[in-house]
Structure 1
Amino acid sequence: MKREKLFLTGYAKLPEGITAWELYKVIGVGMTVDKETGKILETECTFATEMAKNFINDLVVGKNIKCVKEIEEELEKYYYGSAKKPIISAIRSCSNKYKQIKNK
């Protein structure tokens, strides 16, 4: 049986003065999630550097979008960039969309 994937997105305003704000004004997070289990399969975000994008991807992939608190705790523990609050907010938005889809 082939598993279905969902594509979820979340956005949040970035703090002024950082490079990503100069480029985008908001941060966008896109992720593919296993529809049945909620496991995050892949992520991408609109950070200015590949290193930051890869860091978030490595931290989030394999986690479960249903357990967004666990992802937030990991970000609080390991991410010390200026966009911490916006990235958490964007991931929460993805989690909320997943819950809406599952509750249909």
Structure 2
Amino acid sequence: MGSKTGVDLKDTAFGYTLSIINGKYKMIILYWLAEYEVLRFNELKRRIGNISFKTLSSTLKQLESDNLIVRIEYPQIPPKVEYQLSERGKSLIPILDTICRWGQKNRI
């Protein structure tokens, strides 16, 4: 169903951006990767707190699929996997910073 203008939100740049960052944990993961640059799976899980292994794994795969993060796997035993922001993911950080500043200014 379209809006009064006949344009669906999903067909706009705003709608596209929301579809990329929409999700309970995506912006939190991006935040932690921006803060620490490189984190392993368990480090991310510890920082986020109440998130299941399955949800974290699924969310990381979505972020990787959207080219917002890079997964680096080291061929060793036990396996070592690290995550970091891609260049595309880094380009979102100024937006997240703006959201944080807004929150600081408008917190009630």
Q: When the two structures are superposed, what TM-score results if normalisation uses the length of structure 1?
A: 0.29
Greater RCO, 1 or 2 (C-alpha within 8 Å, sep 6+): 1
Q: Which has the higher helix share?
A: 2
Q: Which has the higher strand share?
A: 1
Considering only CA atoms, is the larger Rg found in Structure 1 or Structure 2?
2
Q: When the two structures are superposed, what TM-score results if normalisation uses the length of structure 2?
A: 0.28
